[in-house]
């Protein structure tokens, strides 16, 4: 892979979330192919014989900057947050129902 081609970034959510930091998120990058339709990422393994370049179709998940890539995950984070608020209500309702029946 070469430093001459433009980079594109993609974000991934982790399973970690905290009050202080919110949802865990990180980015990785690849280089735009000359045709502009693909992003090539170079995967490095401990065993160098397994290293390879993976070609990913360029789509709306890829951003020109890490911030743009992370912003593409905003809707997913909002959906998770809504579900977590509903879950908190469900847990409290279940505990309240348990008190009534005992």
- Give me the pLDDT at residue 45, please: 75
Over residues 45-101, the pLDDT tens digits come to 777 788 888 999 999 999 999 999 999 999 999 999 999 999 999 999 999 999 887
Domain ranges of the chain: 7-72
The residue among 35, 32, 41 whose CA lies nearest residue 63 is 32
pLDDT at 2 over 70: no
The CA–CA distances, whole Å, from 11 to 24, 29, 83 equal 10, 9, 21
- Give me the pLDDT at residue 1, please: 57
């Amino acid at each position: 892979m070469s430093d001459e081609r433009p980079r594109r970034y993609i974000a991934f959510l982790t399973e970690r979330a905290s009050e202080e930091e919110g949802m865990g998120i990180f980015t990785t990058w690849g280089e735009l192919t000359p045709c502009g339709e693909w992003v090539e990422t170079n995967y490095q393994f401990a065993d160098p014989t397994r290293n390879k370049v993976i070609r990913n179709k360029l789509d709306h998940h890829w951003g020109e900057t890490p911030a743009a890539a992370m912003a593409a995950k905003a809707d997913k984070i909002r959906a998770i947050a809504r579900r977590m608020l509903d879950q908190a209500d469900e847990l409290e309702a279940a505990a309240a129902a348990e008190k009534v029946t005992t």
